[in-house]
Structure formats: structure tokens, C-alpha cells
Amino acid sequence: MAAPQARRVAGVCTGAFLLAEAGLLDGRRATTHWEAAPHLARRFPKVRVEPDRIFVRAGKIWTSAGVTAGIDLALAMIGDDLGEAIARRTAQQLVVYHRRPGGQSQFSALIEIDRQDGRFAKLLGWMRLHLNEPLTVEQLADEAAMSPRHFSRAFTAETGITPAKAVERLRVEAARERVESSSDPIEHIGDAVGFIDAERMRRAFVRAFGQPPQALRRAARGEDAMRH
């Protein structure tokens, strides 16, 4: 098997089953397409299946939710090797949004909007680049070239969530990736993605993931310790 010598091993979509069959996912977190996730968990009980993730990085083993999520995974690898500026430029060349973080839900606000007619897709991409700004309804409406009242109603009608909830979800998804993959102070991560204070970020994490950011970081580090 070449996996032990490989710098990275990745499974896209149901490719996670091949990695699990080879024993590479035993004791590790992994994801796959949401429809296949229950089957993966039943067939390979040693795998810690996370069915609501875009992609998962468990040491040198990477898995993604689906084929298009494989693009996010590849951009994350580029960012890891060459920096976020190159990853962003690659996304532009591919005519896709700069990568969604791995912690983002397969059923996130961004994906739900993209499943529609794309009316607010451009706005969502802009929001992801400006998470450290206030992102008030007035600011978002101005970016969408709509009145605040009309924008709020149209956005909620199309996505099923309010603009404020969408902003919180995008922030918490961006923060989770950094919480799990970096050693940056939690407060600094919160500032970078636009949370006013650490307590507000903690409450948002509990609502979205059922755990505060510190617990998610401990879990990720615990897994790293087991690998070494």
C-alpha cells in the first residue's frame, strides 16, 4: 500500500468507502455525500462519520461530501501548500467562489441559495469576503441594489432564513475551519470573521454545532494526538 508513504490521501464523495475499506479511516473523522453517510457509518463503525461537512481533513487523509465539494477540498490543499492568495486566484480561474470551509454544512445557507435561481449567489460570495464588516441589512441591501425592506423580504422568501441568520451561519462556518485547523486564539478568530465578542461566537457555535468552539478544538487536537 502506498498510503503510508504518501504526503496526502484524498477520497472524493463515495471515494471515502475505498479509504475505509483499506483501513485508512479507522478512528478518524471523515465525510461523504449525505445520502451515503449512513451506509458508511454502518459498514465501517470505526470511522467517525460527519455527514454534515463539506470536507474533512484528518491529518493527511482528506474526504469530501460530493464531487463539487471535491473542488473545495482541492482549493483547501492549494491554500495549504501555496497560500490563500493562490487558492483564491485558482478559484477565479475555475469560475467558482473562493472555497467554502470544510466546517460548512452540506445544508448551509450558501448551498441552499445556490440551489435556487442564483439570485443572491453573487451577494453570498461578497459576504464571505467581508465577514469582518458589520454586514447590516442596509449594507447588504445596498450591495444587492435593493431597498432594505424589499431585500429582507426577498432574501428570506428565497432562502428560508433571514439575512442576519445567513450572516451568522457564514461566520460560524468560516470560524469552525480555523478553530479546528489552527492554533490562533479563539478571540482572534472571532474578530476576523466579524463576531463582536467571544460570548456571541460561543452561542452561535452551540446553535450550529451543539458545542462551543473550545470543545471542537479539543476534539480536533485529540485526534491529532492519537495519530502521533
pLDDT tens by residue, 39-51? 999 999 999 998 8
Average pLDDT over residues 126-139: 94
Domain with residue 71: its CATH number is 3.40.50.880
Regarding whether 158 and 136 lie in a shared domain, the answer is: yes
Regarding whether 157 and 95 lie in a shared domain, the answer is: no
Regarding whether 30 and 69 lie in a shared domain, the answer is: yes
Regarding whether 72 and 6 lie in a shared domain, the answer is: yes
> What's the pLDDT at 92?
81
Regarding whether 137 and 84 lie in a shared domain, the answer is: no
Domain boundary among 107, 130, 150: 107
Distance of CA 156 to the CA centre of its chain: 22
Res. 160: pLDDT tops 80: no
Nearest of 7, 32, 5 to residue 19 by alpha carbon: 32
| Domain of 62, in residue numbers | 1-107
Which amino acid is present at 135? L
Regarding whether 122 and 224 lie in a shared domain, the answer is: yes
Rama region for 12: left / alpha / beta (φ>0; ψ in -120 to 50; rest) = beta
Give the confidence band of 9 by pLDDT, cuts at 50, 70, 90: very high
Domain boundary among 55, 86, 107: 107
Beta strands 48-49 and 55-58: pairing type? unpaired
Regarding whether 83 and 2 lie in a shared domain, the answer is: yes
Domain with residue 130: its CATH number is 1.10.10.60
56-92 pLDDT per residue, tens: 999 999 999 988 889 989 998 998 899 878 988 898 8
> What's the pLDDT at 158?
81
> What's the pLDDT at 149?
96
**High-pLDDT (> 70) share of the chain, %:** 87
187-198 pLDDT per residue, tens: 999 999 999 999
Reported pTM:
0.57
Regarding whether 163 and 139 lie in a shared domain, the answer is: yes
Domain boundary among 56, 76, 107: 107
Regarding whether 225 and 131 lie in a shared domain, the answer is: yes
Nearest of 206, 204, 180 to residue 194 by alpha carbon: 204
Average pLDDT value over all residues in the chain: 85
87-111 pLDDT per residue, tens: 888 988 887 765 566 655 665 545 5
DSSP structure class, residue 97? P
198-226 pLDDT per residue, tens: 999 999 998 877 789 998 888 777 655 54
**Number of folded domains in the chain?**
2
Q: How many whole angstroms separate alpha carbon 61 and alpha carbon 11?
A: 8
